[in-house]
Amino acid sequence: DAKTTQPNSMESNEEEPVHLPCNHSTISGTDYIHWYRQLPSQGPEYVIHGLTSNVNNRMASLAIAEDRKSSTLILHRATLRDAAVYYCILRDVDFGNEKLTFGTGTRLTIIP
Amino acid sequence: DTGVSQDPRHKITKRGQNVTFRCDPISEHNRLYWYRQTLGQGPEFLTYFQNEAQLEKSRLLSDRFSAERPKGSFSTLEIQRTEQGDSAMYLCASSSRDPNEKLFFGSGTQLSVL
């Protein structure tokens, strides 16, 4: 699996937008960009995924660079419940490689 | 949808003992994954099933580890002759047939080997 690079930690104020960056310079044409997050004492949970176009859902938005070598997860209005470790993962499903390979992620702290 | 269920939530054992964990996936999901997570690290892939077939095993899965999914429903992960280095959170996840479908994770089993 191609690797991703994320900052180890970030802080944000409550009720403000948060932009979590991810670099994936070796991404291949068939890699999807997935984001999961892990709240304290819980298993990871799916946030969003995309291939080329920007994506929105009820949890977040995913902005993908035109060359696909980087992406940004956007939380539009952070709450205390968004404090978690956020993982950016590349997933190539064309070769039957369905597993997710996690890195160390970005630990997001929300300041009240 | 009752989610992915793992049992027990916590297990304390002495070095050298055998332990077994159970995972009940979401009922219609045919893919089941096991991961291991240590403090400060992301989850590490261990193994994955499609129905009852074990399709991939990580090199992390030594011969002391065995996983089964006998009827394509629940799965068990057994660790024989536990070592202190086996102390970790063991996570189970399931997903549907679509290869790009999201994974649903359980809350994990925290293993402590004394």
> Which of A5, A100, A101, A104 is the best substitution to test chain B (most B C-beta atoms within 10 A)?
A100
How many residues appear in chain B?
114
Residue A95's Cβ-count burial label (10 Å; 0-12, 13-18, 19+) is exposed
Contact of B69 with B75, CB cutoff 8 Å: yes
Q: How far apart are the first and last CA of chain A?
A: 37
**Alpha-carbon distance A25 to nearest alpha carbon in chain B (angstroms):** 20
Residue B23 confidence class, pLDDT cut points 50, 70, 90: very high
Whether residue A29 has pLDDT greater than 80: yes
Whether residue A96 has pLDDT greater than 80: no
Alpha-carbon gap, residue B31 to B66, rounded angstroms? 17
Q: In what order do the strands lie in the sheet with B65-68?
A: B5-7, B19-24, B75-79, B65-68
Give me chain A's average pLDDT, please.
Answer: 92
Residue B113: both structure tokens together = 């080997």
Q: Is B86 helix (H, G, I), strand (E, B) or coil?
A: helix
Chain B residues 34-63 with a CB less than 8 Å from chain A? 35, 40-45, 48, 56
Alpha-carbon gap, residue A27 to A38, rounded angstroms? 24
Whether residue B29 has pLDDT greater than 60: yes
Which residues in A lie closer than 8 A to residue B33 (C-beta atoms)? 99-100
**Alpha-carbon distance A95 to nearest alpha carbon in chain B (angstroms):** 10
Which residues in A lie closer than 8 A to residue B103 (C-beta atoms)? 36, 44, 46, 100
Q: In this predicted structure, what is the pLDDT of residue A94?
A: 67
Phi/psi-derived region of residue B70, left when phi > 0, alpha when psi is between -120 and 50, beta in every other case: alpha
**Alpha-carbon distance B102 to nearest alpha carbon in chain A (angstroms):** 6
Q: Count CB pairs under 8 A between chains A and B.
A: 54
Which residues in B lie closer than 8 A to residue A91 (C-beta atoms)? 100
> What single letter denotes the amino acid at residue B85?
G
Q: In this predicted structure, what is the pLDDT of residue B72?
A: 86
Residue B97 confidence class, pLDDT cut points 50, 70, 90: confident
Give me chain B's average pLDDT, please.
Answer: 93
